[in-house]
Amino acid sequence: MSRTDLLRWNGSTLEPLEYCDPSEYLLEAADSWLVEDGQTLALGLHRERFTHAIAARGFDTDPDAFWRAATDSVPNDGAWFPRVELQSRGGAGLFVLRLRNAPERAQAITLATHNGPDPRTAPRIKGPDLAAMTRLRGEAKLAGADEAVILRDSLVVEGSTTALLWWEGDVLCQPPLALERIDSVTARALMGIALALGTSVEESAATPADLDGRELWALNALHGIRIVTGWVDGPSLAAEPGRLHTWRTRLAALRTTPEGPPA
């Protein structure tokens, strides 16, 4: 059964939260991660990204106590997909935890190009544009895909909820860092593995057409790595047998049990 507990931080503990009018609150920063039987991938990087997002939005609120309470609230059994948020109303910040069951995960995904204007207002910060990205994903589903792809000057930037990486031979490629996008924790972890194993990682400016015949991956915290099996009205994609399984296994091996709060 699906479950979502909505909890607010009152400065010392988490307590149930019920909104009279959620539209009055602005989502300033957010972060989500997958927890399976108490283990998660690169939780410290999620904390770092959330902390940086708070500062980038102009808040000097220290999230440490809230973060500890939020992570301690996630059960050690089952699959969970918690989301921490900094919301604001009238300039005042409010920390919120959405404690959610993890949705079903997949290993494959289809894409569709978003052909309209780029709706992102804070492309390097996870949170402010979540509603817009949800709308893009809904439009992609109407087109027969799972995810929308955002382009900038015809170049591939990111998916509406995913980072996009691809293979050019034995080289793992990412869009140029100059193309503003969310700093994906999952992509960072994967590229770290690649570099540790001696696999070349490079920036590559690519249009959708340039990816024809390439193996393309979509990454996020919920699904890990998914292989792109189709692109509506887009390039034809390829796959090297066994590569996806190998790298999904390597990524899963990095999952750890977070340390508890200091004594």
pLDDT in tens, 228-258: 999 999 999 999 999 999 999 999 999 998 7
Domain boundary among 65, 100, 135: 100
Q: Quick one: 70 and 150 in the same domain?
A: no
What per-residue confidence (pLDDT) applies to 91? 87
Residue 263 located in a structural domain: no
pLDDT of 208 reads 98
Q: What are phi and psi of 3, to 5 degrees?
A: -140, 135
Q: What 8-state DSSP symbol labels residue 101?
A: B
Q: State the burial class of residue 229 (Cβ atoms within 10 Å of its Cβ: 0-12, 13-18, 19+).
A: middle
Residue 260 domain-assigned (yes or no): no
Same domain? 158 vs 234: yes
Query: Of the candidates 51, 81, 100, which is a domain's last residue?
Result: 100
Low-confidence stretches of the chain (pLDDT < 50) are: 1, 260-263
pLDDT at 262: 35
Asked if 122 and 244 sit in the same domain, the reply is yes
CA distances from residue 227 to 107, 197, 213, 258 in whole angstroms, order as listed: 6, 21, 13, 28
Structural domain contains residue 259:
no
Query: Based on the domain organization, do 13 and 62 belong to the same domain?
Result: yes
Q: Which domain holds residue 29?
A: 4-100
**The dihedral sign for the CA sequence 152, 146, 102, 218:** negative
Q: Say yes or no: 94 and 61 in one domain.
A: yes
**Residue 133 domain flag:** yes
pLDDT digits (tens, 9 = 90+) for 163-190: 999 999 999 999 999 999 999 999 999 9
Residue 77 sits in the same domain as residue 182 = no
Q: Same domain, yes or no, for 96 and 124? A: no
Query: Do 236 and 122 lie in a common domain?
Result: yes
Q: How far apart are CA 219 and CA 116, in angstroms?
A: 23
Report if residue 258 sits inside a domain: no
Q: Are residues 186 and 86 in the same domain?
A: no
140 in the same domain as 55: no
Angle at 162 between CA 156 and CA 167, to 5 degrees: 55
Percentage, residues of the chain above pLDDT 90 = 91
The domain spanning residue 9 has which CATH number? 3.30.470.10
Q: Which of 37, 72, 100 is the last residue of a domain?
A: 100
Q: How many CA atoms lie within 13 A of 90 on its CB side?
A: 0
Q: Are 68 and 146 in the same domain?
A: no
How many separate domains does the chain show?
Answer: 2
Residue 3: what pLDDT? 67
Chain centroid offset of residue 159 CA:
10
pTM over 0.85: yes
201 within a domain of the structure (yes/no): yes
What residue spans of the chain are helical by DSSP H? 43-56, 64-72, 130-142, 185-196, 243-252
Q: Say yes or no: 26 and 152 in one domain.
A: no
